[in-house]
C-alpha cells in the first residue's frame, strides 16, 4: 500500500486568522502546506496530486459563492473522500452545519475557535484515510500527536489589575476598551491618542517578536506632555479601530522607556502562565480623556456613528431575522408581506443595513436573498445584466452548487437575463407554457414562474443539475418574488434586447 502525506491547501483571505494560521502551521506541522490566491489554482493543484485538505474562509456571502465553485469542480474527489474541506467562518448557525456538510464541506469551525482546536481538526483530517491513500502523521513530534488529536480543554486565562502608573506620559485608558483572547492571542483595547496625534513605527524586528515605537505628533496642540522617552509595544502593529487602539499579541507588552531604553512603567504585559497584567487607569490618563477624544478625526467619529447606527438597525431587525433561522437552507413558505418588509427595509437603509445584520442573519435563505439583491441595487458599477448574473451566483450558492438561469418574458418572447455560468441560457425550450407555479422536468430541472402583482408572467427561474427536483417549490416561488424587480428592469433593458436580437440573427 502506498503511503503519502495529505497536503494542506489554504485559500488566502484578508482575515487576520489567515496569516496567524499560516504562522501556526509553520511552527507545529511538518505536513506540507501551500497557500493559493484563487480557487482555480487549488482545483488545478488537487487534480495533479489527487488528494488534499483544503482550508477556506467565509466572512460574508460572497466568500461562500467562491467556495461553492471549488465544491462543484472537485465533486468526485470530495465524494471519494480524497479531498476534505475545512471551512472557517464567522456567521453560519451551528444548527445548519449538517446541511453544509451535505453540500461537500467536511468540517466547519468558527473563525474565533482557539488555534489548538483548529490544529486538532486539521491533524484529524490529514490523518483520515482516503479511498486512494493512507496518510501518515504530519506532526513534528509524534509523541505530541495525542495533544492535537484529542479534544483540547479550554484554559481560562485571567486578567490581573495592578496599581496605576505614576507617569505624566501615561494617556492609556483600559476601562473604556476591554479585552479578549482570539486564536490564542490577547486582543487588548485601550483608549489613547488617535492617529492624528502620532503613529507607530517598527523599532526592532526578529523572527520571534516585533517591537513598535509610538512617535508623537501634534502633542502640543492637544496639551499632551512630550518627553525624551517613548512608548513601545511588543506584538503586532497596533491598529486604531472605532475609538480605541487594538493591541494584539501572544505575549503583548506596552511599556514606556526613557532615552536609554530603561523601562519606567508598563501598562500591559503577561506573566509566565500567559495571564494578562494591566495597570489601572492613572489619574493623568483619566483627566486627559477629553484631550484624547479630541485627537479622533471627524472621519473616525463619523465611522463610529455609522457603526452605532448599523447596530441600531441590527437590534430592530434581530428578532425578525432570528425567528427565520430555520429557513437558512431549506426555508418554508415566506409570506408576501415578509418578503416586502425585508426588501423595503434593506432598500431604504442600503448596504449599511446589510452590514449590520451580516454577522447573525441567515445568509442563504429567502430573506437573505432579498438583502443581497438590495445590496446589488446600491452598487452603481453593475448594469442589469451583471446584477442578474450576480443574483444567479447567490442562488447557486443557496442551492448547493446547482446552476441557475433567470429568464424574462415580454411581448410573447423569452429572453435570458442572467445565468450562474455567465453564459447564454440553454433551457428556453422548457419555458413554453410556464405561466405560474413550479414545474419539474425529471430530477434535474426545476422551473419557477415569476409573476407580477396582477399575476401576469414576468419571467422564470431555472434551477438545474443533479438533485434540483429536491428543492422545495415554495422556496423557488419566494425567490421569484424577490427577482420580480430584476425581471421588470430587464424587460425594458435595451442591452438585453439588443443581445437577444444578435443571438437570434
**pLDDT beyond 70 at 487:** yes
The pLDDT value given to residue 53: 93
CA distance 182 to 474: 41
The pLDDT value given to residue 339: 40
CA distance 239 to 300: 13
**pLDDT beyond 70 at 377:** no
The pLDDT value given to residue 132: 40
DSSP 292-314: HHHTS-HHHHHHHHHHHHHHHHH
Distance (Å) of CA 324 to CA 65, 282, 330, 367, 401:
22, 48, 11, 8, 22
Fold of 8-149: Rossmann fold (3.40.50)
CATH 3.40.50.280 residue ranges in the chain? 8-149
The pLDDT value given to residue 471: 81
The pLDDT value given to residue 33: 83
- Spatial neighbors of 138 by CB under 8 A, at least 6 apart, are 5, 6, 29, 30, 31, 32, 123, 126, 127
CB burial string 363-373: b at 16+ within 10 A, e below: bbbbbbbbbbb
- 355, 353, 372, 331: which is closest to 485 by C-alpha? 372
CA distance 309 to 94: 28
With cut-offs at 50, 70 and 90, classify the pLDDT of residue 5: low
Q: Are 15 and 59 in contact (CB under 8 A)?
A: yes
Where does residue 138 rank: exposed (0-12), middle (13-18), buried (19+ CB within 10 A)?
Answer: buried
DSSP 159-212: EEEEPPP--TT---EEEEEEEEEETTEEEEEEE---GGGEEEEEEEE-SS-EEE
The secondary element (H helix, E strand) that includes residue 343 is helix 336-349
Q: Hunting for cell 497584567 — which residue is that?
A: 277
**pLDDT beyond 80 at 219:** yes
With cut-offs at 50, 70 and 90, classify the pLDDT of residue 234: very high
CA distance 159 to 177: 14
**pLDDT beyond 70 at 37:** yes
**pLDDT beyond 50 at 114:** yes
Q: Are 229 and 258 in contact (CB under 8 A)?
A: yes
Grid coordinates representing 182 are: 482570539
Q: What angle do CA 472, 478, 480 make, to 5 degrees?
A: 105
Mean pLDDT of 411-440: 88
* Superfamily of domain covering 383-505: GAF domain (3.30.450.40)
Task: Give the tens place of pLDDT for each residue, 285-303.
Answer: 888 888 888 888 655 555 5
**pLDDT beyond 60 at 67:** yes
Selected residue with higher pLDDT from 363 and 265: 265
- Spatial neighbors of 44 by CB under 8 A, at least 6 apart, are none
With cut-offs at 50, 70 and 90, classify the pLDDT of residue 253: very high
Grid coordinates representing 319 are: 428578532
**pLDDT beyond 70 at 217:** yes
The fraction of the chain above a pLDDT of 70, given in percent, is: 70
**pLDDT beyond 90 at 127:** no
CA distance 370 to 360: 16
Selected residue with higher pLDDT from 459 and 178: 459
- Size of the chain in residues: 505
Q: Are 487 and 414 in contact (CB under 8 A)?
A: no
CATH 3.30.450.40 residue ranges in the chain? 383-505
Q: Are 373 and 480 in contact (CB under 8 A)?
A: no
**pLDDT beyond 50 at 131:** no
Selected residue with higher pLDDT from 283 and 360: 283
**DSSP-derived pairing of the beta strands 8-11 and 52-58:** parallel
- 356, 497, 339, 493: which is closest to 415 by C-alpha? 497
The pLDDT value given to residue 140: 34
Mean pLDDT of 245-258: 91
Distance (Å) of CA 317 to CA 45, 330, 361, 391:
43, 21, 9, 23
CA 3 to chain centre: 36
Selected residue with higher pLDDT from 224 and 501: 224
CA distance 293 to 270: 28
CA distance 104 to 71: 6
pTM above 0.85, yes or no: no
With cut-offs at 50, 70 and 90, classify the pLDDT of residue 119: confident
The pLDDT value given to residue 4: 43
Q: Hunting for cell 431555472 — which residue is that?
A: 462
Mean pLDDT of 96-106: 83
How high does pLDDT run on average in the chain? 73
Mean pLDDT of 439-446: 88
Grid coordinates representing 387 are: 446584477
Q: Hunting for cell 485571567 — which residue is that?
A: 158
Cα atoms in the 13 Å half-sphere on the side-chain side of 31: 29
Mean pLDDT of 46-59: 87
CA distance 333 to 367: 11
Q: Hunting for cell 431549506 — which residue is that?
A: 330
Cα atoms in the 13 Å half-sphere on the side-chain side of 268: 29
The pLDDT value given to residue 170: 92
| Neighbouring-strand partners of residue 257 | 230, 263
Q: Are 55 and 21 in contact (CB under 8 A)?
A: yes
With cut-offs at 50, 70 and 90, classify the pLDDT of residue 230: very high
Mean pLDDT of 423-438: 89
Query: Which of 23-32, 103-112, 274-283, 456-465 comes out lowest in average pLDDT?
Result: 23-32
CA dihedral 462, 463, 469, 474 (to 10 degrees): -70
DSSP 130-155: -SS-B----BS-GGGHHHHHSPPPPP
CA distance 449 to 105: 31
Amino acid at each position: 500500500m502506498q503511503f503519502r502525506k495529505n497536503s494542506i491547501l489554504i485559500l488566502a483571505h484578508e482575515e487576520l486568522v489567515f496569516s496567524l494560521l499560516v504562522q501556526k502551521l509553520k511552527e507545529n506541522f511538518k505536513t506540507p502546506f501551500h497557500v493559493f490566491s484563487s480557487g482555480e489554482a487549488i482545483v488545478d493543484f488537487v487534480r495533479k496530486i489527487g488528494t488534499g485538505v483544503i482550508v477556506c474562509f467565509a466572512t460574508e456571502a460572497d466568500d461562500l459563492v467562491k467556495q461553492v465553485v471549488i465544491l462543484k469542480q472537485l465533486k468526485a474527489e470530495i465524494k471519494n473522500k480524497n479531498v476534505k474541506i475545512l471551512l472557517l467562518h464567522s456567521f453560519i448557525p451551528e444548527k445548519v452545519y449538517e446541511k453544509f456538510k451535505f453540500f461537500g464541506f467536511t468540517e466547519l469551525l468558527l473563525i474565533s475557535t482557539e488555534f489548538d482546536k483548529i490544529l486538532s481538526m486539521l491533524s484529524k483530517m490529514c490523518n483520515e484515510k482516503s479511498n486512494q491513500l493512507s496518510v501518515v502523521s504530519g506532526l513534528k513530534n509524534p509523541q505530541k500527536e495525542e495533544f492535537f488529536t484529542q479534544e483540547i480543554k479550554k484554559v481560562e486565562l485571567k486578567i490581573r489589575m495592578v496599581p496605576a502608573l505614576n507617569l505624566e506620559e501615561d494617556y492609556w485608558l483600559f476601562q473604556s476598551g476591554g479585552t479578549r483572547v482570539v486564536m490564542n492571542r490577547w486582543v487588548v483595547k485601550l483608549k489613547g491618542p488617535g492617529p492624528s496625534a502620532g503613529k507607530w513605527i517598527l523599532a526592532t524586528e526578529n523572527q520571534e517578536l516585533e517591537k513598535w515605537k509610538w512617535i508623537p505628533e501634534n502633542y502640543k496642540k492637544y496639551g499632551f506632555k512630550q518627553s525624551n522617552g517613548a512608548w513601545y509595544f511588543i506584538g503586532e502593529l497596533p491598529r486604531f479601530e472605532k475609538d480605541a487602539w487594538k493591541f494584539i499579541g501572544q505575549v503583548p507588552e506596552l511599556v514606556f522607556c526613557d532615552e536609554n531604553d530603561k523601562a519606567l512603567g508598563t501598562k500591559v504585559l503577561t506573566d509566565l502562565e500567559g495571564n494578562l497584567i494591566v495597570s489601572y487607569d492613572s489619574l493623568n490618563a483619566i483627566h486627559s480623556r477629553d484631550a484624547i477624544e479630541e485627537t479622533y478625526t471627524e472621519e473616525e467619529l463619523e465611522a463610529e456613528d455609522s457603526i452605532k447606527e448599523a447596530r441600531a438597525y441590527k437590534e430592530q431587525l434581530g428578532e425578525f431575522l432570528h425567528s427565520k433561522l430555520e429557513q437558512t437552507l431549506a426555508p418554508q413558505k415566506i409570506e408576501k408581506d415578509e418578503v416586502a418588509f425585508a426588501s423595503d427595509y434593506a432598500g431604504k437603509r442600503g448596504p449599511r443595513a446589510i452590514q449590520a445584520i451580516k454577522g447573525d442573519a441567515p445568509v442563504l435563505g429567502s430573506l437573505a436573498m432579498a438583502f443581497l439583491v438590495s445590496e446589488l441595487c446600491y452598487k452603481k458599477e453593475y448594469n442589469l445584466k451583471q446584477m442578474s448574473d450576480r443574483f444567479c451566483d447567490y442562488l447557486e450558492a443557496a442551492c448547493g452548487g446547482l446552476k441557475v438561469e433567470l429568464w424574462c418574458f415580454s411581448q410573447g418572447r423569452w429572453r435570458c437575463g442572467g445565468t450562474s455560468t455567465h453564459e447564454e441560457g440553454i433551457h428556453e425550450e422548457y419555458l413554453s407554457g410556464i405561466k405560474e407555479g413550479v414545474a419539474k422536468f425529471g430530477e434535474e430541472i426545476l422551473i419557477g414562474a415569476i409573476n407580477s402583482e396582477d399575476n401576469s408572467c414576468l419571467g422564470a427561474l431555472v434551477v438545474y443539475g443533479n438533485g434540483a427536483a429536491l428543492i422545495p417549490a415554495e422556496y423557488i416561488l419566494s425567490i421569484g418574488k424577490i427577482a420580480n424587480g430584476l425581471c421588470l428592469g430587464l424587460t425594458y433593458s435595451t442591452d438585453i434586447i439588443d443581445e437577444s436580437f444578435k443571438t437570434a440573427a
